[in-house]
Amino acid sequence: GAVVSQHPSRVICKSGTSVKIECRSLDFQATTMFWYRQFPKQSLMLMATSNEGSKATYEQGVEKDKFLINHASLTLSTLTVTSAHPEDSSFYICSARVGGGGYNEQFFGPGTRLTVL
Amino acid sequence: AQKVTQAQTEISVVEKEDVTLDCVYETRDTTYYLFWYKQPPSGELVFLIRRNSFDEQNEISGRYSWNFQKSTSSFNFTITASQVVDSAVYFCALSEANFGNEKLTFGTGTRLTIIP
């Protein structure tokens, strides 16, 4: 099956620093990648949809200047949390889409747990 | 707007019992996909099933079975003869089938605990 990796798996940083999270599709090309955020004991909330070579589409309420998304290639998307604060501490999960037409097959990465001190 | 409701926040059953996780959805689309995912303590989402809105046949996969009832907008998930390894959070999700707009809407999840 299709494999999606995320790096790092866990990161702890000081308040005010920026953190970059990578999402890679290892054995397929992903024209679309999605970024989700999951707070403890809560559901996954879509943050943005990232299409290769174009600007990401952010969901309502998600600050695009706070969460910078770059999808520079068909196998890599990055999420940068700029000037992170404790309230940004969360589990960030990416997914990569396979398939065309109306067929929606998303493969999820293992997630990145961000803790901001 | 799409919405997925998992009314059961937490369920605990004794090992070997059967358990059903409920999922009710709302959508204006005539074509859509429904999913179930398992999230063990490690956090990684495990895909369990995808169902097209036109396919109302129930499905069985080992100890897992799914009951899709379009008339009641429900897509329930049953685990028979539960095992401790089934302990996890289970998410039901909904997606439109339109190319380019296939974002997943997740329910709030049901935390299932299997008691040995």
Residues of chain A with Cβ-Cβ distance to B102 below 8 Å are 32, 97, 102, 104, 106
> What is the C-alpha to C-alpha distance for residues B104 and B5, in angstroms, rounded to an integer?
14
Region of B81 please: left (phi>0), alpha (psi -120 to 50) or beta: left
Q: Judge contact between B106 and A43, C-beta under 8 A.
A: yes
Distance CA A67, CA A70 (A): 10
CB contact under 8 A, A110 and B43: yes
CB atoms within 10 A of CB A84: 22
Interface probe with A: pick from B102, B110, B113, most Cβ of A within 10 Å: B102
Q: How far is B75 from chain A (nearest CA, A)?
A: 18
Task: With H, G, I as helix, E, B as strand and everything else as coil, classify residue A65.
Answer: coil
Question: Among B56, B53, B41, B46, which residue's Cα sits nearest to residue B88?
Answer: B41
pLDDT digits (tens, 9 = 90+) for A53-112: 888 999 999 999 999 999 888 899 999 999 999 999 999 999 998 755 556 678 899 999
pLDDT at residue B66, rounded to an integer: 95
